[in-house]
């Protein structure tokens, strides 16, 4: 693959997302978001989009705070059901999220696939449900340690992307986010190297090109996730096909998360590492 030349350099706006998983009750959420709001400076978000994905029970609190204090962070959720309403005890519908001002929804996070038996079919249905309510899906894909060792990373990524996206209109794909999250890197402190992250994100983009055409592939933001921290963020973001970061553990503390946001600001032409 040829490195991006300056005149064809991607113009995708970086997207840094904090996935709190099952951490922070609504009181802790209030303190964390207030802290983030006090620290955030206009220049931090002048060239970077930021989203937070708290647990469901925090959403209303976080929404009120973001809106009331004009904190320039978009509200995200970690999952939703694929139906709009019905007898699905314990579930939350995409319609409910949209009404709360949620703009981004993680779809098919590996922890949902692994612990809650979320199949490729359910991922595809959930992704369509999110689109139906005009929110942005953040489709999560990634290989296990065994798949990587067996040289099956690309096969895994293409089958997950194909199962989730086949049949969608290219204009729907164009507005999406894909998060490449190698499972072996999640919560292990063992992030992918920036070169490995770039190779996988570039492969994701090539697969998107085959599925939805060159224009959609060029505009999709591809995030890297897995043990991102303030030390490795800038190197990862320097890669031309890494358009953002999906941050778990390091997003729980406002100051640490903000360091990652700051490290993600574009620093001149992006290079291939």
- Residue 228, interface with ligand PGA (CB under 6 A)? yes
The C-alpha atoms of residue 82 and residue 94 are separated, in whole angstroms, by 7
For ligand PGA, the closer of residues 173 and 185 by Cβ is 185
CB of 219 to ligand PGA, least distance (A): 23
Q: What angle do CA 118, 23, 161 make, to 5 degrees?
A: 30
Q: Which of 15, 19, 98, 261 binds ligand PGA (CB under 6 A)?
A: 19
- Residue 142, interface with ligand PGA (CB under 6 A)? no
| Helix, coil or strand: residue 71 | coil
- Alpha helices per DSSP H over the chain: 26-39, 42-45, 59-68, 94-99, 110-115, 120-132, 145-149, 153-165, 170-174, 194-212, 214-219, 233-237, 254-263
| Site string (163-182) toward ligand PGA, x via CB under 6 A | ------------------x-
Q: Strand pairing partners for 137?
A: 105
Catalytic residue among 111, 143, 181, 259: 181
Burial 190-214, CB ≥16 within 10 A → b, else e: ebbebebbbbbbbbbbebbeebbee
The C-alpha atoms of residue 16 and residue 245 are separated, in whole angstroms, by 5
Scanning 87-95, 121-129, 201-209, 240-248 for contacts with ligand PGA by CB under 6 A, the matching segment is 240-248
Residues 92-121 that bind ligand PGA (CB under 6 A): none
Respond yes or no: is residue 83 known to be catalytic: no
| Site string (179-218) toward ligand PGA, x via CB under 6 A | --x----xx-------------------------------
For ligand PGA, the closer of residues 184 and 203 by Cβ is 184
Respond yes or no: is residue 109 known to be catalytic: yes
For ligand PGA, the closer of residues 23 and 272 by Cβ is 23
How far, in Å, are 31, 51, 148, 241, 267 from residue 151 at the CA level? 44, 33, 5, 21, 33
Supply the residues annotated as catalytic.
109, 181
Residues that bind ligand PGA (CB under 6 A): 19, 181, 186-187, 225-228, 246-250
């Amino acid at each position: 693959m040829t490195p991006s030349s300056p005149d064809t350099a991607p113009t995708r706006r970086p997207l840094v997302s904090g996935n709190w998983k099952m951490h922070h009750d609504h009181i802790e959420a209030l303190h964390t978001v207030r802290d983030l709001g006090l620290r955030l400076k206009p220049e931090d978000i002048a060239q970077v989009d930021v989203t937070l994905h708290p647990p469901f029970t925090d959403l209303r609190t976080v929404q009120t705070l973001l809106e009331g204090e004009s904190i320039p962070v978009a509200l995200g959720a970690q999952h939703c059901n694929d139906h709009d309403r019905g007898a699905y005890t314990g579930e939350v519908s995409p319609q409910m999220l949209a009404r709360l001002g949620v703009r981004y929804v993680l779809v098919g996070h590996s922890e949902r696939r692994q612990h809650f038996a979320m199949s490729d079919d359910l991922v595809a249905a959930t992704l369509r449900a999110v689109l139906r309510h005009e929110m942005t899906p953040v489709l999560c894909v990634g290989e296990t340690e065994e798949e990587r060792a067996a040289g099956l990373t690309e096969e895994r990524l293409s089958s997950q992307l194909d199962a989730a996206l086949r049949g969608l209109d290219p204009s729907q794909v164009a507005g999406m986010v894909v998060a490449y999250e190698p499972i072996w890197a999640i919560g292990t402190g063992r992030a992918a190297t920036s070169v490995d992250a770039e190779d996988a994100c570039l492969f994701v983009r090539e697969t998107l090109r085959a599925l939805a055409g060159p224009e959609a592939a060029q505009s999709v933001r591809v995030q890297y996730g897995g043990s991102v921290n303030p030390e490795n963020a800038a190197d990862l973001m320097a890669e031309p096909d890494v358009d953002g970061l999906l941050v778990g553990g390091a997003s729980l503390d406002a100051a640490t998360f903000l360091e990652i946001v700051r490290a993600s600001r574009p620093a001149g032409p992006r290079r291939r590492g």
